Amino acid sequence: MSKSLYLPLLFSLPAALAAQTVVLDPLVVTASPVARPQAELIGSASVLEGDALQQSRQPTLGETLSALPGVASTGFGPGASRPILRGLGANRVRILANSTDTLDASNTSPDHAVSVEPFLVKRIEVVRGPAALLHGSSAVGGVVNVIDHRIESELPARAVSGVIDGTVTDNGRGHAVGGALDVALAPNRETNSGFVLHLDGFQREANDLDVPGASGQPGAPRGKLLNSSVDSEGGSVGLSYVSDVLDAGVNYSGFDTFYGVPQETDISIDLRQRRVDASADYQAPLGVFSGARAKFGYSDYEHREIDVPANAVETIIGQEGFDGRLELLNDDFAGWAGALGTQLGHTDLSATGDEAFLPTHATDSGALFVFQELPRGDTIWQLGARIEHREVSADAYDNILFAEGIDPANNGGVDFARSNGARSDERTTLSGSFGAIHTLDEAHKLAWSVSYTERAPTGQELYADGPHIGTDAYEIGDASLDDEQALGVEVSLRRTTGLVTGSLTGFATLFDGYIYEQGTGNQIVFEDPDGIANNGDEESLDEIRFVQSDALFYGVEAEAVWHLHAAERHTLDLTTAVDYTRAREIDGDDLPRIPPLKARVALDWRRDAWRAGVDLLAVAKQSDTAPGETDTDGYALLGLSAGYTLETTHATYDFFVRASNLTDEEARQHTSFVKTVAPLAGRAFTAGVRASF
């Protein structure tokens, strides 16, 4: 059972009520060079695994995590949805696969899928708040680390072990099936060493979603979200060597998905990624260091945006790149423990066709970082620093779109064309943090941190210039953007034992030069003389530009788990949670697509092999909107679940059923670019079984 958040009035419970219910705190490997329990982290983190992950699992990563405190989703339909942490997303939230960058294009557009399939994932770690020291300036909002053990670090207990998983759902008539297999090759049980062969694969398919009422799509039948079907498959093969001193391995994986874009009912995306991952963890002295850890990932990624009725490829976005890091660990430098590390990365992104709103450009980055902890009595002090160098080199545009900007105020405008010359941008940024966690007594801890992060603008923010289906706008970058600077403060009070466990967290981040997309109120009428856009006809889109403004993000997260009954064979827990984020320009307007107040109540019961639960997720109306934004109504989603675990001699079978959005509530996410045409799924019933052997 994981640590949870709770309301401050619970600290005053009488000692008789606060009986010593012990909460097992899962280790988190994402927030520190050394795995730490959640309660001992300076920053805030959540872990999804086991039954909680099974009940939360959705086709996309964003929707899988959206009920967690401080987490929202970009909500671009069942094919593409990326997590948002405390109102920050895209280039401020780092998505990792086993601590290595996913190396996809999901950060460039909300209609681009994350190249991680939640179906066979074993564990997801979410670190909210600045995590730039270990993972780069693109993690100023936090990190989501998806862990699937494709490179094993432990010798399996059996010669052959694995899992087979299958689910079906009535909404969209969807199904998913997959499995993973680990084979111990020539194991030495006395030394706990040997080779492990890993194989896994999955296939998922679903038709268009049923939604409450009208979707908002022109001409769509009531109750149906057109072009929301998904067809995905993937798999991997890997070989690892594991021992008490050295764990090392390599894995080759593939991920394919074909999904509809609800905003454009004739457009679908065909995504393909092939990647190679390697890692090594050496746990023995290396001179003054106590060990070393290395990770490397290489990816070849491409997605095609296809006009299905015309059977024509309109846009191709490709990206090839790598991400690698090396950490040298120390467990006692004058009492300090931590890591000294370096990280290198390269991506080469190309875009051609109608929606080529980006020039072909390469991004090279390199960083050095240090992360250290000093225990002193009941306090653990923590500090770190990172220096990062990044260079963006953009080629000339292959296709020139001639366009005219139209200002509705005076019906005037000026003809312009894309700048077709090669450009480059080179920056060096600095980041640092300082904080501590104080043990107040056996049950309570107080954590606080202060962080400073500099983020260089991305190639998209600098050089975008073209029509973009994901934002349904003509998107224009600004090559004169300054570095974005963020000063963050977080304070968290936690309780780890007793009738009620959890924490209450407050945070604030002050941005100097926050970069975001702002609508100008103008229309861009563009024409492609070569027939690339709309067969040579004129087309018009709203103009949005990347701009900078000083901004303040602040909020609170609280979650309480009431351990109403805790016995070896029988438990009953009541969870209450709330999170709130506000974001606005300093002395200015509210910022766009900020998630509203969210609350969750859940009751979870377990007795021997049986389990059941009911939960209610309530999202408030969002009326704190940016200029040009519309308010979004609130909604409440009711869910039910039940399960049974059957243990046999050779396998363990885990059966479950789940009802989602039981009242068929119409729900539209304020964070979504397509909220007017793509509500969340209506009532759905899902059943599944997992066999572990």
Q: What CATH number does the domain containing 306 carry?
A: 2.40.170.20
Residue 448 within a domain: yes
pLDDT band at 462 (very low <50, low <70, confident <90, very high): very high
> In this structure, what are the phi and psi dihedrals at residue 367, rounded to the nearest 5 degrees?
-145, 150
pTM: predicted TM-score of the whole model, two decimal places: 0.91
Distance CA 46, CA 58 (A): 17
Q: Which residues make beta-bridge pairs with 128?
A: 44, 142
Output the pLDDT for position 418: 52
Residue 550 within a domain: yes
Question: What's the rounded mean pLDDT across residues 544-562?
Answer: 96
User: Which tokens is 13 given?
Assistant: 């419970």
Output the pLDDT for position 541: 86
**DSSP states of 525-589:** EEE-TTS-SGGG--EEEEEEEEEEEEEEEEEEEEEEEEEEEE-SSEEEEEEEEEEEEEEEETTSP
Residue 3 within a domain: no
Q: Which amino acid is at 641?
A: S
Q: Spell out the residues 6+ positions from residue 64 whose beta carbon is closer than 8 angstroms to its own.
A: 48, 53, 56, 57, 58, 118, 124
Neighbour-count burial of 322, counting CB atoms closer than 10 A to its CB (0-12 exposed, 13-18 middle, 19+ buried): middle
Question: What's the rounded mean pLDDT across residues 31-50?
Answer: 87
Helix (H, G, I), strand (E, B) or coil at 464: coil
**Inter-residue contact 96 to 30 (CB < 8 Å):** yes
Question: What's the rounded mean pLDDT across residues 193-215?
Answer: 96
User: Which tokens is 371 given?
Assistant: 């992360």
Distance CA 95, CA 484 (A): 20
pLDDT digits (tens, 9 = 90+) for 653-669: 999 999 999 999 999 99
Q: 353 is in which domain, residue-wise?
A: 8-224+231-290+298-692
**Inter-residue contact 554 to 507 (CB < 8 Å):** yes
Alpha-carbon distances, residue 346 vs 30, 304, 385 (angstroms)? 22, 22, 22
Whether pLDDT at 22 is above 70: no
Q: Spell out the residues 6+ positions from residue 295 whose beta carbon is closer than 8 angstroms to its own.
A: 98, 99, 100, 277, 278, 279, 324, 325
Q: What is the mean pLDDT of the chain?
A: 90
DSSP-derived pairing of the beta strands 635-647 and 100-101: unpaired
Region of poorest pLDDT, from 3-7, 164-168, 489-493: 3-7
Distance CA 106, CA 159 (A): 38
Question: What percentage of the chain reaches a pLDDT higher than 90?
Answer: 75
Q: Which amino acid is at 216?
A: G
Whether pLDDT at 186 is above 80: yes
pLDDT digits (tens, 9 = 90+) for 98-145: 999 999 999 999 999 999 988 889 999 999 987 778 888 889 999 999
Distance CA 390, CA 367 (A): 9
Torsion 463-518-303-321 (CA) sign: positive
Output the pLDDT for position 408: 42
Whether pLDDT at 86 is above 50: yes
pLDDT band at 573 (very low <50, low <70, confident <90, very high): very high
User: Which tokens is 594 given?
Assistant: 């900020």
Output the pLDDT for position 540: 82
**Domain count of the chain?**
1
Residue 37 within a domain: yes
Alpha-carbon distances, residue 408 vs 405, 476, 524, 543 (angstroms)? 10, 18, 11, 12
Question: What's the rounded mean pLDDT across residues 417-424?
Answer: 70
pLDDT digits (tens, 9 = 90+) for 299-348: 999 999 999 999 999 899 999 999 999 999 999 888 999 999 999 999 99
pLDDT digits (tens, 9 = 90+) for 515-527: 999 888 888 887 6
Residue 244 within a domain: yes
Short-list 102, 98, 162, 106, CA closest to 124:
98
